[in-house]
Amino acid sequence: MTTPARLASAAALIADPARAAMLQALMAGEALTAGELARAAGIAPSTASAHLAALTDGALVAVHAQGRHRWFRIASEDVAAILESLMGLAEATRPARRWPHGEALRAARTCWDHLAGRLGVALHAGLVSRGVLRPAPGGWETTAAGDAWLDRIGVDLAAARRARRFACDCMDWSERRPHLGGGLARAICALCLARGWVRRQPGEGLARRVVAPTPEGARVLREAFGVRMDDAAA
């Protein structure tokens, strides 16, 4: 059982504004360098290195060394889900006011390695309403017809099933409703990016997470997944 001291220690890692800004930038799903994270947090590179060492020691961030470069990413799906939930909590405890982060971020973004925002929530609902997913202990499972359909459109189901969790709810911090998380959500997001159905948009900080469907992608999302972009943007 987690002790109060360990809980407080984990919370303290996220509580620093600079570290929180770095974690938000990494929630776009891309691995970033210390310099990029320093710019996202608005701090000096030397200060960023100390913060990244703390996040790495605390198992919130993982580092990959390649030549002279060190790349940082969110350590795990569990960490990403916790951060998404905390962002939802932060918004829920704010005084009632208009959404302050821009409609593009709310409409469609990545939550680490899967789709979120109104697009992600609508995608989850579409997969359920079309009989691709059905409830299962701890989350969701695909139906036989769903497996055949996902394989036909190019989703890497074998990779999805290697994930620790195949399909689960991930509470969306802007919509206060779940989008799909887990290996299946990661495989669908990877397919959408690889096929050019959605594209990452330029930006820094939270804006790194913004994606937008292409015209072809909007058609595929509507016809294949049952997602109408006018509904997702409402």
Whether 223 shows a pLDDT value over 70: the answer reads: yes
DSSP state at residue 217:
H
For 219, half-sphere exposure in the C-beta direction (CA atoms, 13 angstrom radius) is 4
Amino acid, single-letter form, for residue 45: P
The string of DSSP codes covering 75-144 is: --HHHHHHHHHHHHHHHHTSPS----S-HHHHHSEEETTEEEHHHHHHHHHHHHHTTSEEEETTEEEE-H
CA 94 to chain centre: 22
Element (H, E) at 225: none
Lowest-pLDDT range, 8-12, 39-43, 79-83, 230-234? Answer: 230-234
| Token duo for residue 208 | 């790194």
Please tell me whether residue 233 adopts helix, strand or coil conformation. Answer: coil
DSSP string, 38-50: HHHHT--HHHHHH
Q: Is the pTM of this model over 0.75?
A: yes
Query: Mind listing the pLDDT tens digit for each residue in 1-48?
Result: 678 888 888 889 999 999 999 999 999 888 999 999 999 999 999 999
Distance CA 84, CA 60 (A): 13
Distance in angstroms (rounded) separating the CA atoms of residues 213 and 15: 34
Q: Which long-range contacts (C-beta less than 8 Å, at least 24 apart) are formed by 215-219?
A: 217/192
The rounded distance, in Å, linking the Cα atoms of 102 and 110 is 15
pLDDT in tens, 163-217: 999 999 999 988 989 999 999 999 999 999 999 999 999 988 788 899 999 999 9
Residue 23, C-beta contacts closer than 8 angstroms, at least 6 positions apart: 14, 55, 60, 61, 74, 83
Name the CATH architecture for the domain at 4-75. Answer: Orthogonal Bundle (1.10)
Give me 77's structure tokens: 């799906």
CB 22 within 8 A of CB 41: yes
Residue-level pLDDT at 77: 86
Whole-angstrom Cα distance, residue 106 to residue 62?
27
Q: Which two tokens stand for residue 196?
A: 């050019």
Bridge partners (DSSP) of residue 213 are 198
Report domain extents, the chain.
4-75, 78-232
CB 40 within 8 A of CB 11: no
